[in-house]
C-alpha cells in the first residue's frame, strides 16, 4: 500500500515554482525583458454539474423534446453561464441510464455530445456520471434475463465511453456499489441490483471498469459512493486486491443533514487516502435553508412542499462552504471537488442547495467560493523581468498560465513536475 | 455464487432417513429381529466456551499458576461438568495471544493440550479462538517492527495449529477483521492493528488462512466478526474474490443490548447465507438481567459494580433463547451455535449471561435449551424390528446413533448423504 499523504492547511502542496527560459522564434533569449504572467486555469478540478446547460447548448425552446434532466430552462440558463464559468472548470454530465436511453436503442447521444462540445469549447473538462448504477436503471430492462441485463449493461458502457472519447475524460464507472446488491426499493424494482446480487460486488466492479477501460484506455475511472463507513473501505480493498485498476476514489458528500465539520471531513479523507489514490469529492452539497432531519436515511424520502433559502441559512452555507473547501484542499490526496448544482431552480429534492438563488442572484456562498478560487487561490496577474539569459522564476498555483512579452505570448503549466522549461514566445 | 438456502421452521432439513441392513459378524442378516436405537450425538454443533474447565482438567488448586482466563474455579467447575456435557458437544478453547503466551516464547501449550484432551475424552469437538486478533495481542509485540510482527504472527499461527492437530478441528482464523486496521484504543495500543493497516485487510486474511491451512490442511477455518453490516459483506466478498478458502462464516451475536428477534436474525442469516458457506453463530449471549444501554458502542465500555440475574430476566432469557435457537436451526446454512458461557461466575463483563447462576443452579434458559437439544430435537430411544432381509428404516436428527440387537451393538450416522448402509453388529 502506498504511503498516505497528510493534510497541510497552508496548501503548500498546491503551488509550484518553475524557472522559464524565454526565447524568440529564432532561438534567441528574451534577456532583460518585461514579462506579464496570468493564470488561466486551475489544475485542481473545481467542478459542478452541467445539467442546466444541456438545453441551452442544444438551443432548446420551451417546446423542445428531451429536456429530461430538470434544472434551469434555457432562458434562465443563459443568465447562469457566466456565473458558472467564472468559478468552475469541470462539468459533470448526466448519463443516468433511464434518462439517457428512455427508449431502448434510442440514447440521447447527439444531444449530450452537443452539450459536451459546448463545455469543451469554453475550456471546461468533462466527467460522465454514472456508467453503472442501480438507481435510474431503465424500466425496459426489468423483463430481461439476468444474463441479458449483463450483456446490455456491458454494451451500454462501451457505447457511451466510445462515443464521448476525447470529450469526457473522467467517468464514474460504477456508483454506490456498497448498497447495490442489497438495495431495496419495493416501488421501483431494478435489474442492476438483481445482476449485482447474482455476480457479487467485485465482479460487478470489474465489469464496469474493464468495459470502460477497453472502450477508451485513456479515460480516468472513478469508484464512487455515498457510503463513508468501513463498508466502503472493505469494498475498496476487495476491488484493489482483485486487481481492478481504479484511478480515483469518489466520495459523495450531500450534506443536506448538516455540514460534516473539519474533524469528520479530515477523518474521512485520512481513511480513504490510505489507498494512495486521488480522492474526488464527487457530489458536494451544503444547504442555505432548513436542514433535513437527521433521522432520514435515504435523502430521497424527504419530500417537503417548499424549502426556501433563508438569510441566516445563506450566511451559514457560505461559512461552511469556505471551511469545507479549505479542509478538502488541505489534503494532498484531494484532486477534485464537484459542487452539486449552481442554482436552486430545479435542484435535487427542491433543496436550497444552490450557490445561486432561484431568481438568478448569487448567494454569499457563490461570492465566497469565487473569492477562494479566483483570488485567494489564484495567482494575481504579475509583471516580472527576465535575467540576462532570458530566465524568469514563476511561483503559483498548479494550473495553466499565459505570459506576454510585448505583443508576443506563450503558455506554460505549473505542476509538481515542473521545475524548469523553455518557452518560445510568438506574436 | 452458490444458490442460497432458505429457512424452514419445520426443520425438515435437520432430519434424515436411512435403511440399514443388519448383519452378524459371519455376514448373515439379522432377519425379523428386535433392534433398539439410541441417538448419541448431534451433528449440529451445539457449542459453548470451555474456559471454565481448563483449571479442572489441569487439576489446578487455588494456588496454581496460569489460571489466566477467568471463569469458574476448579471446585465450582467440577459441579458444572455434567450440566455442560448434557447439552453441549463442541467447546471453544481460548487462544487469546496475550494470555496464551504471556511471556514471549512460553506459550501455555501443554496446559491447553491437557484441557483439549479432557474434552476430547468426553466426546466433545474443539474449536480454537482466535488465531489472529488485534484485541488481546501481547504487549511484548509492541516494540517489534511491523515486519517482525508479521513474522511472529505467522509463526504463532503455525505453532498453535500444528500443536493442536487432531484435537482442535475448527479455528477462528481471524477475528474482527472489519475493524482491525482502524481499531482505536488509545490506552491499549496493539501491534496487530498496525500490521493490518500496513498490509490491508485482505492480505491479512490471506496470511491467517494460509498459515493455518499450511500447518494442518484438514482443519476448518472460520472468518469471524461481530460486524453484521454491509461492511462485513463487502469484506467477505473481497476475501472470497481474492481466492482465500474460507470454510465457514462466523457471526458473533452478543445480545447484551437485547435480543435481535426473529426478523432481524433471519435478515442477517439471509444476507450472509448468500455466499453458499456454512454459518457459525460463534458467540451467542442473552442476558437474564438488565440490558446494556443501547447507546454503548463497544460493549467493553459498560462497567457496572453489580449486574444481577433477576427472576423476570431469567424468564425472558429462556423465552428468547428458545426463539433464537429455533430461528437459527430453521436456516439450513447454520451448522453451529456457540453460547458464550455456561455460568454467571466470572462471565465476560460480569453480565448475567450464563445459563447457570453463580451459585451453580440452572436457570430456566438452561432447562429450556436442554429440552430442545435432548428432547424435542433428539430421537427418543426407539424399539424397531428388522424385516426378513435384516433391513430396518431409521429416521432421526442428523448425528450419531447406537443400536443394540440383544447383547450385540453397532453405531451408525444420520446425515444428508445417508440413505442406505450395511451395519455389522458385534458383542
Question: pLDDT per position in chain A (427 positions), as tens?
Answer: 455 678 999 999 999 999 999 999 999 999 999 999 999 999 999 999 999 999 999 988 766 655 445 567 777 888 899 999 999 999 999 999 999 999 999 999 999 999 999 999 999 999 999 999 999 999 999 999 999 999 999 999 999 999 999 999 999 999 999 999 999 876 778 999 999 999 999 999 999 999 999 999 999 999 999 999 999 999 999 999 999 999 999 999 999 999 999 999 999 999 999 999 999 999 999 999 999 999 998 888 888 889 999 999 999 999 999 999 999 999 999 999 999 999 999 888 899 999 999 999 999 999 999 999 999 999 999 999 999 999 999 999 999 999 999 999 999 999 998 889 999 998 8
pLDDT of residue B301: 87
Residue A202 has its nearest CB partner, among B178, B231, B238, at B238
Q: Which three-class secondary structure state does DSSP give residue A169?
A: strand
CATH number for A12-40+381-424: choose from 3.40.50.2300, 2.60.40.10, 3.30.70.270, 3.20.20.120: 2.60.40.10
Kindly determine whether residue B238 and residue A238, on different chains, have CB atoms separated by under 8 Å.
yes
Residue-wise pLDDT tens digits, B131-159: 999 999 999 999 999 999 999 999 999 99
Q: Which three-class secondary structure state does DSSP give residue A92?
A: strand
Distance from CA of B272 to the nearest CA of A (A): 12
Residues in B closer than 8 angstroms to A227, CB to CB, are: 230
pLDDT of residue A380: 96
In B89-229, alpha helices (H): 97-100, 109-120, 146-163, 191-199, 201-215
pLDDT of residue A62: 64
Contact residues, A window 208-247, toward B, CB-based 8 Å cutoff? 227, 229-235, 237-242
End-to-end CA distance of chain A: 49
The grid cell for A277 is 489514490
pLDDT of residue B12: 95
Interface mutation vs chain A, best among B1, B230, B268, most A CBs within 10 Å = B230
Q: Which residues contact A325 (CB under 8 A, 6 or more apart)?
A: A337, A369, A372
Kindly determine whether residue A1 and residue B199, on different chains, have CB atoms separated by under 8 Å.
yes
For residue B150, report the phi and psi dihedrals to the nearest 5 degrees: -60, -45
pLDDT of residue A71: 63
Kindly determine whether residue A237 and residue B271, on different chains, have CB atoms separated by under 8 Å.
no
Kindly compute the dihedral angle of the four CA atoms of residues B267, B272, B278, B284, in this order, to the nearest 10 degrees. Answer: -60
Distance from CA of B245 to the nearest CA of A (A): 15
Residues in B closer than 8 angstroms to A234, CB to CB, are: 178, 201, 231-232, 234-235, 238
Distance from CA of A142 to the nearest CA of B (A): 21
B3-33 burial, b at 16+ Cβ within 10 Å, e below that, comes to ebbebeeebebbebebebbbbbeeeebbeeb
Whether ipTM > 0.90 holds is: no
Half-sphere exposure of B35 (CA within 13 A, CB side): 29
Q: What count of other Cβ atoms lies within 10 Å of the Cβ of residue B154?
A: 16
Per the DSSP assignment, residues forming a β-bridge with A152 are none
Kindly determine whether residue B229 and residue A231, on different chains, have CB atoms separated by under 8 Å.
yes
End-to-end CA distance of chain B: 49
Residue A182 touches partner B, C-beta closer than 8 Å: yes
DSSP structure string for B348-360: GGG-S--SB-TTS
Residue A178 touches partner B, C-beta closer than 8 Å: yes
Q: How far apart are CA A238 and CA B202, in angstroms?
A: 7
State the DSSP code for B140: G
- The angle, 0 to 180 degrees and rounded to 10, between the axes of the packed helices B109-120 and B146-163 is 40
The grid cell for B263 is 426478523
- Beta strands in A73-182, from DSSP E residues, in sequence order: 90-94, 125-129, 168-175
Q: How far apart are CA B108 and CA B100, in angstroms?
A: 5
Q: How far apart are CA B109 and CA B126, in angstroms?
A: 15
Residue B202 has its nearest CB partner, among A200, A229, A238, at A238
Distance from CA of B104 to the nearest CA of A (A): 29
Q: Which residues of chain B have pLDDT under 70?
A: 1-4, 62-71, 186
Q: Which three-class secondary structure state does DSSP give residue A414?
A: strand
Q: Are A252 and A340 in contact (CB under 8 A)?
A: no
Minimal Cα distance from B234: which residue of A?
A235
The grid cell for B277 is 458457506
Q: How far apart are CA B354 and CA B349, in angstroms?
A: 12
Q: Are A423 and A22 in contact (CB under 8 A)?
A: yes
Half-sphere exposure of B22 (CA within 13 A, CB side): 30
Minimal Cα distance from B271: which residue of A?
A182
Residue B238 has its nearest CB partner, among A182, A199, A241, at A241
Q: Which residues contact A275 (CB under 8 A, 6 or more apart)?
A: A1, A2, A236, A237, A240, A249
Minimal Cα distance from A231: which residue of B?
B231
Distances (CA, A) of B88 to B44, B340, B356: 10, 12, 14
pLDDT of residue A111: 96
- A44-376 has CATH 3.20.20.80 classification: yes
Distance from CA of A249 to the nearest CA of B (A): 16
Distance from CA of A159 to the nearest CA of B (A): 28
Full-model pTM: 0.91
Minimal Cα distance from B180: which residue of A?
A230
Minimal Cα distance from B177: which residue of A?
A234
Exposed/middle/buried for residue A87 (C-beta within 10 Å: 0-12, 13-18, 19+):
buried
pLDDT of residue B1: 46
Domain boundaries, chain B: 12-40+381-424, 44-376
Exposed/middle/buried for residue B263 (C-beta within 10 Å: 0-12, 13-18, 19+):
exposed
- Residue holding cell 440413505? B419
Distance from CA of B265 to the nearest CA of A (A): 16
Contact residues, B window 269-298, toward A, CB-based 8 Å cutoff? 271, 274
B390-424 burial, b at 16+ Cβ within 10 Å, e below that, comes to bebebebbbbbbebebeebebebebeeebeeeebe
CB pairs under 8 A between A and B: 77
Interface mutation vs chain B, best among A226, A237, A244, most B CBs within 10 Å = A237
Torsion sign over Cα A267, A339, A227, A132: negative
Torsion sign over Cα B211, B215, B220, B224: negative
Kindly determine whether residue B241 and residue A237, on different chains, have CB atoms separated by under 8 Å.
no
Q: Which residues contact B206 (CB under 8 A, 6 or more apart)?
A: B242, B244
Residues in B closer than 8 angstroms to A223, CB to CB, are: none
Q: Quick one: residue B136, left, alpha or beta (phi over 0 = left, psi -120 to 50 = alpha)?
A: left
Q: Are B14 and B334 in contact (CB under 8 A)?
A: no
Centroid of chain to Cα A20:
31
Q: Quick one: residue B406, left, alpha or beta (phi over 0 = left, psi -120 to 50 = alpha)?
A: left
Residues in A closer than 8 angstroms to B233, CB to CB, are: 182, 201, 231
Centroid of chain to Cα B130:
12
Contact residues, B window 63-122, toward A, CB-based 8 Å cutoff? none
Kindly determine whether residue A230 and residue B197, on different chains, have CB atoms separated by under 8 Å.
no
Amino acid at each position: 500500500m502506498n504511503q498516505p499523504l497528510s493534510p497541510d492547511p497552508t496548501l503548500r502542496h498546491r503551488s509550484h515554482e518553475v524557472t522559464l527560459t524565454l526565447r524568440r522564434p529564432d532561438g534567441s533569449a528574451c534577456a532583460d525583458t518585461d514579462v506579464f504572467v496570468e493564470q488561466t486555469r486551475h489544475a485542481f478540478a473545481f467542478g459542478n454539474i452541467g445539467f442546466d446547460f444541456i438545453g441551452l447548448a442544444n438551443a432548446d425552446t420551451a417546446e423542445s423534446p428531451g429536456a429530461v434532466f430538470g434544472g434551469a430552462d434555457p432562458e434562465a440558463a443563459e443568465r447562469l453561464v457566466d456565473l458558472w464559468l467564472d468559478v468552475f472548470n469541470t462539468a459533470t454530465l448526466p448519463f443516468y441510464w433511464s434518462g439517457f436511453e428512455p427508449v431502448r436503442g434510442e440514447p440521447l447521444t447527439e444531444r449530450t455530445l452537443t452539450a459536451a462540445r459546448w463545455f469543451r469549447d469554453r475550456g471546461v473538462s468533462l466527467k460522465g456520471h454514472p456508467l453503472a448504477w442501480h438507481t435510474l436503471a431503465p424500466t425496459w430492462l426489468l423483463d430481461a434475463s439476468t444474463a441479458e441485463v449483463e450483456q446490455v449493461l456491458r454494451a451500454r458502457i462501451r457505447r457511451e465511453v466510445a462515443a464521448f472519447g476525447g470529450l469526457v475524460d473522467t467517468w464514474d464507472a460504477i456508483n454506490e456499489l456498497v448498497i447495490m446488491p442489497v438495495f431495496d426499493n419495493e416501488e421501483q424494482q431494478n435489474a442492476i441490483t438483481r445482476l449485482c446480487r447474482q455476480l457479487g460486488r467485485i465482479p460487478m466492479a470489474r465489469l464496469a471498469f474493464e468495459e470502460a477501460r477497453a472502450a477508451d484506455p485513456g479515460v480516468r475511472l472513478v469508484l464512487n459512493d455515498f457510503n463513508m463507513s468501513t463498508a466502503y473501505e472493505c469494498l475498496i480493498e476487495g476491488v484493489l486486491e482483485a486487481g481492478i485498476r481504479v484511478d480515483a476514489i469518489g466520495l459523495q458528500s450531500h450534506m443536506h443533514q448538516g455540514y460534516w465539520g473539519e474533524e469528520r471531513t479530515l477523518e474521512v479523507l485520512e481513511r480513504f487516502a490510505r489507498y494512495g489514490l486521488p480522492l474526488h469529492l464527487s457530489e458536494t452539497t451544503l444547504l442555505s435553508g432548513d436542514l433535513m432531519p437527521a433521522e432520514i436515511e435515504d435523502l430521497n424520502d424527504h419530500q417537503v412542499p417548499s424549502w426556501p433559502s433563508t438569510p441566516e441559512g445563506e450566511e451559514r452555507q457560505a461559512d461552511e462552504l469556505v471551511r469545507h473547501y479549505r479542509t478538502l484542499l488541505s489534503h494532498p490526496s484531494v484532486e477534485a471537488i464537484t459542487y452539486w448544482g449552481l442554482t436552486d431552480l430545479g435542484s435535487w429534492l427542491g433543496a436550497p442547495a444552490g450557490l445561486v438563488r432561484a431568481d438568478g442572484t448569487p448567494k454569499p456562498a457563490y461570492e465566497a467560493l469565487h473569492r477562494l478560487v479566483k483570488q485567494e487561490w489564484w495567482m494575481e496577474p504579475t509583471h516580472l523581468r527576465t535575467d540576462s539569459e532570458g530566465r524568469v522564476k514563476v511561483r503559483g498555483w498548479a494550473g495553466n498560465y499565459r505570459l506576454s512579452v510585448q505583443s508576443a505570448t506563450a503558455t506554460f503549466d505549473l505542476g509538481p513536475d515542473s521545475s524548469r522549461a523553455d518557452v518560445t514566445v510568438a506574436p
